[in-house]
Structure formats: C-alpha cells, structure tokens
Amino acid sequence: MDKRPLGTSGFSMAPLALGGNVFGWTADEATSFSILDAFVDGGFQLVDTANTYSTWVPGHVGGESETIIGKWLARAGKRDRIVLATKVGMLKDGEKGLKRAHIEKNAEQSLRRLRTDRIDLYQTHIDDPDTPVEETLEALDRLVKAGKVRAIGASQYKAPRLRESLAASDRHGWARYQTLQPELNLFDRATFEAELQPVALEHGLAVIPFFGLAKGFLSGKYRKLEDIEGRPRAAGLKKYFEGDRGTRILDALDSVSSRLGSTPAKVSLAWIMAQPSIAAPIASATSVAQVQELMDAARLELDAAALRELDAVSK
C-alpha cells in the first residue's frame, strides 16, 4: 500500500482517512475505540474530526467526538501512530467564524478534549466572509509557531477565497494551507473538478474529501426512498433519488464491483483515490466490519475499463 504526502507538511500516510463525525453519535464510546484500534492497527494514520461534532444530535453541544478520541488516545497510547486532524469555525457555543479570538479559544479547547499537546492538521471548517483572511491566517500561524499545530488546511472554501488565502500566506510568510477538504464522490464531483481541483493542482494542496460514500448512498445499501426512512441522514439522502442519475451510478458500481470481486463501497472510494490531487478520502464507520471494508478499498486498484464506466455515468 503506497503512502501519499499530505501537501508539503511532511506527513506521509495511507490513502484513506477515518471520519470521526460518528463518534459519540451513531458509534458509542466502546465501538469508537474498537474502530480506532482497527484502523490504526491496519496501518492507517489520518483521523479527522471537528470541534462541532456532533452538535446536530439533540442534547449534544459539540466536542463529543474529540472527547472520545482523547479518551482513546489516553487509553491506547497510540498518539505517535496517527495524524490527528480537527477543525474550527462552525457554529459552537453560539459562536462561529474565523476571528483570531475564536480560533485561539477553540484550539485550546480542542487540545484539552483530545488530551494532546499538538494538533497535526488544524482546518478552517468553513470560510468566514466577515473576517479578513489575514486575521485568520495570522492566528493559525501563531499556533504553528507555538508548536500547538503542525500544519493547517481549509475545508469547504470556494476557489477565489482559497487563492486569496494562499496568496496572503505567501505575502506575509505565514503558515499556508497544505490541505483542502471539499465534498467529492461519484455523485457530487462537478464543482470540485471545475473550480477547486485546478487550485489544488497548481498549489500542491493535498485533497482529503468528505462524503466519499455520499452519506452511505454509494455503498449500495439504499436502493429506494423507503430504505432511508427513519435514518439519521434521511433528509440529506433524498437528493440521490431525484431523477435516475443515482440509480445509474449504483448500477455501474454493481457492474464494476461484481467484475472485480469487490463491493460498491470499496469501488466508490477507490475511484476517488484514483483522481488527481487526492491524498485520502474520508469515510466513517460504525462497526469494525465496516472499517475493515473501508481499509480494503485502499488496496483496490481500478483498471482503465472500470474508470471509464464510472466516469461515463457520473459526469
């Protein structure tokens, strides 16, 4: 299994990231520990979370995922075996944005919850148009210089703002974004490919896309609207059933996975890994069996015929 560079940050890692959004939500503490153990013991490194996971759950305030990861790190003693990524900037405790004070306060809170002295990859979760990029980047640069953050990344940025941020870092000699975390999968690819991928390729950004399985749709477990009723992500899954494009993509995944002796989930992630600029897609698991399947995807290489078939139905 080849390892891929995470931008110019000095990190080299296996081409799959574990999403921590489910920890403390659809995966309880014990299950989360087992998933993390299986992932790291399988030779993988990048664990991605955020300070707001999981504010969408009734009664949660954010930080639940970071807290579980911190408890696991304290118990497992595997801190030096992972690349630990978290985020700042989404709504939490009635505040959101990327102003200096907000970043500094939330970085300290994340460090305490994660029970670590440094964050390997600290990402701005979403752009804050009300804050100059210089204020955000200067605050992040201070964290890097203090040794509390090793590298920084951007998530859910539009291309013009991303370019502006990169230029500001270069102009001032500040830490510069090394990674980009956009939405990318076989269903949702047009915006990334047209607008963000050119920036990533030009500036050497390592792309670690989220929703690699389209919230589970591309795993093939949802075949009709009735299948998503009562699911935690039901509202977000409905778009995949509009028109017949989703069905055609699933049919192609069935065809390719059958021919290769694989599964739709593995093929979906392998397709992302085959795209230019991709370092590692992020995928979540709620069981050890699921994380084993995800790790198998990193060992699957799609042939030219498979890539053509998938491209034909998803563009």
Catalytic residues: 53
Token pair in block for residue 30 = 């014990």
CB 161 within 8 A of CB 135: no
Write the CA distances from 235 to 83, 106, 151, 187, 240, integer angstroms: 32, 30, 34, 16, 10
Token pair in block for residue 164 = 């502006």
CB 147 within 8 A of CB 118: yes
CA angle 4, 114, 205 (to 5 degrees): 25
Q: How far apart are CA 298 and CA 267, in angstroms?
A: 10
